[in-house]
Amino acid sequence: MNRINKWLVAMTLEEKVGQLNMLASSQAVTGPGNRRAVEEDIRAGRIGSLLNLWGGNQARAVQRIAVDESRLGIPLLLTLDVIHGHRTIFPVPLAEACLFDPDLWEKTARAAAAEATLDGIALTFAPMLDVARDPRWGRIVEGPGEDPWVASQFAAAKTRGFQGDDLGAAHSLAAVAKHLCAYGAVTAGREYASADLSDRTLREIYLPPFSAAVAAGTAAIMPAFIDIAGVPMTANAPLLQGWLRGQLGFEGVLISDYNAVAELLNHGVAKDIAEAAALALKAGVDIDMMSNAYTQGLPEALERGLVTMGEIDASVRRVLELKERLGLFDDPYRRGSAKPETGDARALAREAARRAIVLLSCKGDILPLSPDIGHVALIGPLAAAPGEMVGPWSSAGLGDDAVSFLDGLKAALPECRIDSASGVDVDSQSLQGIPAAVELCRNAELTVLCLGEDVSMSGEAASRTDLDLPGCQRTLAEKVLDLGKPVVVLLSSGRPLVSPWLFERADAVLATWFLGSEAGNAVADVLTGKFNPTGKLAITWPRNVGQVPVFYGQRPTGRPTKAGERYTSSYLDLPVTPQFPFGHGLSYSRFTLSDLRCSPSCAKPGESVEISLMVRNDSLADGEATLFLFVRDLVASVARPLLELKAFRKIALSVGEQGWVNWTLPIDSLNFVGLDLRPVLEPGQFEIHVGQSADPGELLTTIFELIP
């Protein structure tokens, strides 16, 4: 009998339920009273995993209690939200999505795993794979943007990066794909609200990234807090048991979100804790994070016949199997002992950060800055704010270790005089500092305005309705712009900010998101032209909150938009087009696209077509172009979106250089969710569109036919 079977025979009910119980270990390290309670619970086998404890020594100490002092000596699973770096912080996921670079996505996850495992962590609650199209929702910052195909590539890359080739290796972290599913579709972008959407939308938009994570071997999955049309995901047997375990064959662990099992009472689907525990367990949720619903409710649920011992055993087995795969039974102290052979995490952070910056607008040749520039004013509440650079979910990363915009620019321009002032706070009503800040701008050759949100304004529980600059930042910006001197804006945020006035008036605006530990150096690289920007928006940028949700993959309508014409799909008071389309992002280079070809022009299921395109660098700067390949299925049994992303590719071209970009498009990838909600591939004509963004006016188009 293997050790898991032996344990299952030897365990008491309390010990079994203990393996399904995850508590926050901050209780174990912060309060002496609680510390004893948690330690006693570990000793008694009542806790199987902990979250929020890290550090080699702390991890070893707490593990020793489980291994040496509990009856069966089963090691603990130590877990943490390692979302975009651990000690070295990389750009927030929404910013990282703008890299459109699976290789870098994987590398930053690998580097995060190396640092987190050194701190004793074995599992991270990442990647977050919620497709999101509503920037009012604060958690849009944590995910890969609006597109399900991009999210699927992101899912695979991050899972590979965290888990490596061998989950048992000392520097591998178990990944948790979260939050299954449709959390990004909460009503009106309001945190923790319901989502109500069709089965088709679930299958087309929200489930594919999770299929991709499962295909990449994710060790665990976290159901979302929310309910979908009245069925809380924590108790959603059709999706968790039916789709995930049944259809996809997922055999890993399901971990509830924080307190979500007990919250089934608030949802109004369970009348007591035993019912809540039974609903979650029967839906397939193995680990109860933080709600104590399993410890309090499962024994009673068993007595009342709401669950069987077989169901409890199945969950315990999955948890023990995960611990085994992580190598915890062979060596519970493996993580936290050996320093990995990794590259330079700071250099990687700088590379990821400068690639995540999106040059949103740029008039004339204001950027890059002239190498002879002698006097700059760096103004705004985010100019010298290292703590704000790391963004939400910064794990063990410290703001003090991050490079501010001011420090980055000073290091890059040692000969230049740089005057700095905040002018206003991020979100206060005080105008006091504005006159002095404006005075600094009056005397400078150029002003860099550092505006946006602070870290608390995005992430969990940070939904907002007004997406313009918070506080009095607009007043500051307008006073500076009124001087009529050159102004470049660095816009820090976890979501697109809706400030059309700013894009109209400023000479250049860069989305600088929350770029992480190397933010200031990365921004200096781009401003000085040491690095030619390549970041592309992974999310459509609205002009007005009233347009939300606005995304590129719209379906055709019976009355297509015609600007200024009534009775077409439009608004009376605003264009339907966004401020910036998906994929938008300027460069100091200019690229010309030509010769889009598709060969052969007819193909059958199982075959593929070759698509090629010529790209020429028509500018005076070496640069890198990103090309997006979209398709449109012209006639199908279910109306297909006007554009659907199927691939992207980058090409580096020096001044005057040209090169071909080629794709092989498998015909089977053109399947869609048919009338019966099953995948179907239908013959007919498909348009192929290639461009540098989803802006329909900029796309090259060709056509091919799928024949039976």
In terms of CB distance, is 258 or 333 closer to ligand NOJ? 258
| Residues 287, 319 contacting (CB under 8 angstroms) | yes
In terms of CB distance, is 101 or 115 closer to ligand NOJ? 115
Here the tokens at position 450 are 């550092």
In angstroms, what is the minimal distance from the CB of 84 to ligand NOJ? 13
In angstroms, what is the minimal distance from the CB of 668 to ligand NOJ? 34
In terms of CB distance, is 134 or 204 closer to ligand NOJ? 134
Please give the Cα distance from 138 to 458 (Å, whole number).
Answer: 4
In angstroms, what is the minimal distance from the CB of 255 to ligand NOJ? 9
In angstroms, what is the minimal distance from the CB of 58 to ligand NOJ? 18
Here the tokens at position 583 are 């994929």
Q: Considering 101, 257, 288, 525, which one is annotated as catalytic?
A: 257
Question: What is the Cα 335 distance to its own chain's centre?
Answer: 26
Residue 178 touching ligand NOJ (CB under 6 A): yes
Beta strand residue intervals within 207-280, DSSP E: 220-223, 227-228, 231-232, 253-254
Here the tokens at position 527 are 């401003």
In terms of CB distance, is 66 or 255 closer to ligand NOJ? 255
- Please select the residue that binds ligand NOJ; options are 90, 105, 125, 582, rule is CB under 6 A: 125
Beta strand residue intervals within 618-681, DSSP E: 623-633, 644-653, 658-666, 672-673, 679-680
Here the tokens at position 647 are 């691939």
In angstroms, what is the minimal distance from the CB of 139 to ligand NOJ? 8
What length does the chain have? 708
Residues binding ligand NOJ: what is the number (CB under 6 A)? Answer: 7
In terms of CB distance, is 286 or 633 closer to ligand NOJ? 286
The residue among 176, 175, 168 whose CA lies nearest residue 75 is 168
The residues that bridge with 686 in the sheet, in sequence order, are 633, 704
Residues 6+ apart with CB under 8 A from 274: 297, 298, 300, 301, 304, 306
Please give the Cα distance from 298 to 286 (Å, whole number).
Answer: 12
The residue among 413, 179, 153 whose CA lies nearest residue 285 is 179
Residue 584 touching ligand NOJ (CB under 6 A): no
x/- mask, ligand NOJ, residues 49-68, rule CB under 6 A, reads --x-----------------
Q: How far is CA 395 from CA 82, 295, 471, 581, 707, in A?
A: 6, 28, 28, 32, 52
The DSSP symbol for 85 reads B
In angstroms, what is the minimal distance from the CB of 258 to ligand NOJ? 4
Residue 460 touching ligand NOJ (CB under 6 A): yes
In angstroms, what is the minimal distance from the CB of 393 to ligand NOJ? 8
Q: Token pair 């400030």 is at which residue?
A: 499
- Please select the residue that binds ligand NOJ; options are 41, 81, 130, 263, rule is CB under 6 A: 81
First to last CA, the chain: 54
In angstroms, what is the minimal distance from the CB of 141 to ligand NOJ? 12
In terms of CB distance, is 409 or 455 closer to ligand NOJ? 455
The residue among 84, 80, 100, 82 whose CA lies nearest residue 92 is 84
Residues 90-109 that bind ligand NOJ (CB under 6 A): none
In terms of CB distance, is 239 or 477 closer to ligand NOJ? 239
| Residues 373, 446 contacting (CB under 8 angstroms) | yes
Q: How far is CA 682 from CA 106, 599, 611, in A?
A: 35, 19, 20
x/- mask, ligand NOJ, residues 211-250, rule CB under 6 A, reads ----------------------------------------
In terms of CB distance, is 221 or 548 closer to ligand NOJ? 221
In terms of CB distance, is 9 or 461 closer to ligand NOJ? 461
Q: Token pair 């910056």 is at which residue?
A: 357
In terms of CB distance, is 51 or 240 closer to ligand NOJ? 51
Task: Kindly compute the dihedral angle of the four CA atoms of residues 109, 110, 115, 117, in this order, to the nearest 10 degrees.
Answer: 100
In terms of CB distance, is 125 or 630 closer to ligand NOJ? 125
Residues 512-571 that bind ligand NOJ (CB under 6 A): none
Residue 257 touching ligand NOJ (CB under 6 A): yes
Q: How far is CA 47 from CA 57, 234, 630, in A?
A: 20, 20, 49
| Amino acid at site 162 | F
In angstroms, what is the minimal distance from the CB of 220 to ligand NOJ? 11
Residue 130 touching ligand NOJ (CB under 6 A): no
In terms of CB distance, is 234 or 534 closer to ligand NOJ? 234
Residues 6+ apart with CB under 8 A from 455: 387, 388, 390, 391, 392, 394, 494, 514
CB-side neighbour CA atoms (13 Å) of 622: 4
Helix (H) or strand (E) holding 521: helix 519-528
The residue among 132, 138, 284 whose CA lies nearest residue 195 is 132
Please give the Cα distance from 11 to 375 (Å, whole number).
Answer: 71
Residue 263 touching ligand NOJ (CB under 6 A): no
Residue of minimal Cβ distance to ligand NOJ: 125
In angstroms, what is the minimal distance from the CB of 288 to ligand NOJ? 13
| Amino acid at site 450 | C
In angstroms, what is the minimal distance from the CB of 25 to ligand NOJ? 12
Residue 192 touching ligand NOJ (CB under 6 A): no
Is 466 catalytic? The answer is no
In terms of CB distance, is 210 or 329 closer to ligand NOJ? 210
- Other CB atoms within a 10 A radius of the CB of residue 419 amount to 16
Residue 134 touching ligand NOJ (CB under 6 A): no
In angstroms, what is the minimal distance from the CB of 51 to ligand NOJ? 6
In angstroms, what is the minimal distance from the CB of 243 to ligand NOJ? 21
Q: Token pair 């493996």 is at which residue?
A: 334
Q: What is the DSSP string of 543-609?
A: SSGGG-S--S-PPP-SS---TT-TTSS--SSS-SS-SB-TT--B-SS-EEEEEEEEESSEE-TT-EE
CB-side neighbour CA atoms (13 Å) of 6: 6
x/- mask, ligand NOJ, residues 627-666, rule CB under 6 A, reads ----------------------------------------
Residues 4-43 that bind ligand NOJ (CB under 6 A): none
Residue 258 touching ligand NOJ (CB under 6 A): yes
Q: Which residues are catalytic?
A: 257
Contacts with ligand NOJ, residue ranges (CB under 6 A) = 51, 81, 125, 178, 257-258, 460
